[in-house]
Amino acid sequence: MRDLTMLAPEPLISRPFVDVDLEELAAESARLESCAAGDVVRWAWERFGTGVFVAASFQDTVLIDVAVRAVPEIEVVFLDTGYHFAETMWFVERVRERYDLNLTMMQPLVEPDDLWQVDQNECCAIRKVEPLARALAGRSAWMTGLRRSEAPTRATSPIAHLDVGRGVVKVNPIATWTDLDVSGYIADNDLLEHPLTHRGYPSIGCWPCTQPVREGDDPRAGRWAGSGKTECGLHGWPDPAQRR
Residues assigned a catalytic role: 232
- Least distance from ligand SF4 to the Cβ atom of residue 125, Å: 8
Q: How many residues bind ligand SF4 (CB under 6 A)?
A: 13
- Least distance from ligand SF4 to the Cβ atom of residue 154, Å: 17
Which residues within the stretch 58-87 sit at the binding site for ligand SF4 (CB under 6 A)?
81, 83
Tell me the sheet residues that pair with 106: 79
CA nearest neighbour of 110 among 97, 99, 125: 125
Which residues within the stretch 167-226 sit at the binding site for ligand SF4 (CB under 6 A)?
205-206, 208-209
124 sits near ligand SF4 (criterion: CB under 6 A): yes
112: Cβ contacts below 8 Å, ≥ 6 apart: 82, 83
CB 220 within 8 A of CB 203: yes
Stretch touching ligand SF4 by CB under 6 A, among 3-11, 120-128, 171-179, 187-195: 120-128
Rounded Cα distance between 144 and 153, Å, is 15
- Least distance from ligand SF4 to the Cβ atom of residue 57, Å: 11
End-to-end CA distance of the chain: 18
Rounded Cα distance between 99 and 68, Å, is 8
Residue with nearest beta carbon to ligand SF4: 206
Residue ranges in contact with ligand SF4 by CB under 6 A = 81, 83, 116, 120, 123-124, 127-128, 205-206, 208-209, 232
